[in-house]
Amino acid sequence: MPLLIALVTWAVYIGDRLLDARSAMRASQADHLRERHLFQWRHRRAFLFLGLAASCGGAWIVLCFMPTGARERNAALALAAMAYFSWVHVLSNPRNLFSKELLVGVLFTAGCALPTFGRAADISAAFIAALSFFVALAWLNCYAIELWESTRQPTSRSRISSISCLLALGGFTGATGFHATQFRAADMIAAGTASALFLAFLDCARSRLTPLTLRVTADFVLLTPLVVILR
């Protein structure tokens, strides 16, 4: 399952970036694109091949190894992903109701949590709390990167620090409250709390980091739950 998530995430990432770049190129707004969009557009044939290969690999895993019940749950997620692409890349102004960053946070977290739904006897309040927390964390990651890249003159601190600290406070409260009864979920929330604090630190230090280092590190700090999974 981790391989499937990696392949699908990679395919979606490539498709999203290429569609963003194509829309900007058609509108003669190439100057609005980030360097990652321009890089993928310059090498779009290679990335298109990689995206198709990842999609085919994911489809092969689903058809050959995934149980029927899991296929049904993943079909729902696939429909949600298709709705996301339609919402963001087809509609003229998708930000009227929901931001792209929030949609990414919901879909990414749902994709990671989907295997747990199949194995869980019941869905506890701790599980819902952890799921909600990581939706907020994934949104914050995307929102922070977008804000940092759109800010011409970085200062020592922005609203990301405040949001990160508030999220970390909520995570600490949730981890403490669930630790006695649902320690696994509490540990996951605690790991996510560390990620939120790391994002606050990056926001304060961003004037001393290159844009590429800042973006990569912002994604890297989301890996703190691996400490819990591998323990």
Q: What are the tens digits of pLDDT across the range 86-142?
A: 666 665 554 544 577 787 788 778 777 776 666 655 678 888 899 899 999 999 998
Task: Count how many residues are written for the chain.
Answer: 231
Closest CA to 63 of 81, 53, 75: 75
Could you give the CA distance from residue 132 to residue 129 in angstroms, rounded to a whole number?
Answer: 5
74: which 2 tokens?
């993943």
Say what the pLDDT of residue 70 is: 66
pLDDT (mean) for 13-20: 83
Domain chopping of the chain, boundaries: 1-66, 95-229
Say which residue, 123 or 69, is predicted with more confidence.
Answer: 123
User: Which phi and psi angles does 27 have, rounded to 5°?
Assistant: -90, 5
Give the global pTM. 0.75
Cα–Cα distance between 199 and 205 in angstroms, integer?
10
Asked whether residue 169 carries a pLDDT value surpassing 90, the answer given is yes
DSSP labels, 134-168: HHHHHHHHHHHHHHHHH-SS--S--HHHHHHHHHH
48-63 mean pLDDT: 87
Distance CA 126, CA 182 (A): 7
Q: Which two tokens stand for residue 165?
A: 């600290």
